[in-house]
Structure 1
């Protein structure tokens, strides 16, 4: 008889939401966002050398090749620097030159980069068939 009494006794249903799984999901998302946020750095800092040279005028849709002090190269595509290898840069510049033989390539060398690294980048640009190459610099500040 005691067995039948135990079967009839049911737990009372709770009308509360269990939030523990939601807290777990929130913490996992928080960790994911904390890890990926530093990776979203789209810009890179380059210290351009100063110069008194006059500007020649900006070409339409310039193609900018960045040279870093450690020898790394980057190609600015749609206002975003994308890190590239020398071979990848050569292939992309050949494609750009095939589409637009009058395209001007701007070389943005870091002020701390050696002259040889910048010349190597210009040599790579010339290998792609591009003959119009310009160097970028910051205007020299008055009194500096």
Structure 2
């Protein structure tokens, strides 16, 4: 008679995690490279201020953020828009709203007169409060 199962087999049941670690490292590198690309928006060189106030409401998804670039182009969030379209959008958006606030990110090389012109147009459209965005100066 043949006896089965009495001999011991040396089966290695360990899981090799090296390939998984390699894949995780590659994914980490991919995410590190692509994340800054997703966060880019309109390039505006904001003026520097020593004591700017924090405005966390400017980061909310329903905030009205207007950018005025060095070239004089106007952007609503990240979308290029004409001045007339901006006024129409602001008027429609703020109808019936309690909080009638807008945030303006103007490039530091834009003339003061152009900024005042945009502010005046937005005031006529119903904006009650306008936050002028600035970057905090780096302390030396």
TM (norm. structure 2) is 0.64
The corresponding residue for 1:46 is: 44
Which residue in the other structure is 2:75 paired with?
A: 74
Distance 1:56 1:103 in 2: 18
Shift of 1:124: 1.4
Q: Give the aligned partner of residue 6 of structure 1.
A: none
Q: Alpha-carbon deviations, 1:26-82, whole Å to 9, x = none?
A: xxxxxxxxxxxxxxxx72211001001331532253211111122211101xxxx11
Residue 125 of structure 2 aligns with which residue?
A: 128
Gaps of 5+ in 2: 1-39
Structure 1, unmatched stretches of 5+, are 1-41
Deviation, 1:138, is 0.6
Alignment of 1:99-114 (within 5 A): 99-114=96-111
Residue 89 of structure 1: aligned partner: 86
Tell me, in whole angstroms, the C-alpha distance in 1 between the residues paired with 2:65 and 2:55: 15
Q: Which has more radius of gyration?
A: 1
Deviations 1:65-100 (A, max 9, x none): 111122211101xxxx11111110000000111142
